[in-house]
Structure 1
Amino acid sequence: MSYMHQTVILSREVIGVLIPAGTRVELPEGADATITQALGGSYTVEVQGHLFRIDGKDADALGFEPTGDIILAADASEEEVTAAVRKQLETVYDPEIPINIVELGLVYDCRLEPAADDGWKLHVVMTLTAPGCGMGDVLVNDVKTKALQVPMVREADVELTFDPPWTQDMMSDAAKLQAGFL
């Protein structure tokens, strides 16, 4: 279902992250919020002329179901866990660009290693489209949070780097097409 430009009334107070500053702001119950983007389980909303990102876990404040659990067999192979992690990373979106971080080319490395407690430790190296982006901490936290939702992933280490700097050439062809670069 498309939620684009749907206006809802916040059913409770909710924390929104101001875009692009990254500042956490308490949005009041009863405020009008226009949904400008609903991707990857999070929402970008406009409230009183400002854009905010609202986590999927708080979707109920917008009148929607919170994001659900990931199902993976208890004896899943490393390849299956890696595929589940990648699928999760494909649900992390830059709040200003409607393209996921994998297709944008922001993920430089993603690998698993055995964890001490019969699970996996994830290592992700990623970048941002712009070094000064105030949403960097939000995106890093999104990657960690979503990766830890994958059964058997016990730890997630996310490193933010700007070497090499991101360029549009790092985008997948599908992302370039979606962004109008092809």
Structure 2
Amino acid sequence: MSNHVLQRATPATMIPAGDATTLPAGTEVHIVQTLGGNVTVRTDHGLFRIAAEHGDAIEGYVPKSASVGGEPVQGEFSEQMVWDALKTCFDPEIPVNIVDLGLVYDLAAEKTPTGGFAVEVKMTLTAPGCGMGPIIAEDAREKIARLPQVEAAKVHIVWDPVWTPQMISTEGRQVLGLE
């Protein structure tokens, strides 16, 4: 990817600590990853995740897709829609979605009394103590919440079973060059 400059002070998240910070206007950034709508950049001070809604601060950066995940999905609710939404969530350091990484352990969708759906997901992380875990989980929750008829969305981080690289799907292994 290429070098860019931030046009304004930009909220960002330090990787892997997960701490919120602001990168000053004029900061030179090198785009590392743009999957899932968010942008991972490298600066002289390390890696940072810039949320999709702040991507326009990066001079010359144009999102790959006009749909960055902000628009609601159309159609009738289905569990497949939830899986598809989860496949748009990425660890900012790994170019494989959280489903193909094997991080999603359970998905449950229950009809609510008002006819909508309450969705709960159990996921893990590649390593305990990863500061990006809550950010990744919130990204997943927000994308699920935008689905049609979803009235409640919760994403829980669990540690049992412990994640291992063997949980990566065939597609994920191919992206990572493991097959």
Is the TM value for this pair above 0.5?
yes
Q: Is this contact kept in 1: 2:17–2:131, CA < 8 A?
A: yes
Aligned residue for 1:101, secondary structure, equals: coil
1:98 is displaced (CA, Å) by: 0.7
Equivalent in the alignment of 2:72: 70
1:106-126, CA deviations, whole angstroms, 9 ceiling, x for partnerless residues?
A: 000112112344321111000
Runs of 4+ off more than 4 Å: none
Q: Which one of 7, 10, 26 corresponds to residue 11 of structure 1?
A: 7
Matches within 5 A, 1:72-87: 72-73=74-75, 76=76, 78-79=77-78, 82-87=79-84
Distance 1:94 1:71 in 2: 22
* Equivalent residue pairs, number: 173
Gap regions ≥5 residues in structure 1: none
1:25-70, CA deviations, whole angstroms, 9 ceiling, x for partnerless residues?
A: 1011221111011101111001223100111121211243572413
With the length of structure 1 as denominator, give the TM-score of the two structures: 0.88
RMSD of aligned Cα (Å): 1.6
Equivalent in the alignment of 2:129: 132
With the length of structure 2 as denominator, give the TM-score of the two structures: 0.89
Q: Which one of 173, 176, 179 corresponds to residue 176 of structure 2?
A: 179
Distance 1:117 1:11 in 2: 46
Q: Is this contact kept in 1: 2:36–2:90, CA < 8 A?
A: yes
Distance 2:176 2:56 in 1: 30
Q: Which one of 34, 39, 47 corresponds to residue 35 of structure 2?
A: 39
Distance 2:152 2:113 in 1: 10
Equivalent in the alignment of 1:121: 118
Gap regions ≥5 residues in structure 2: none
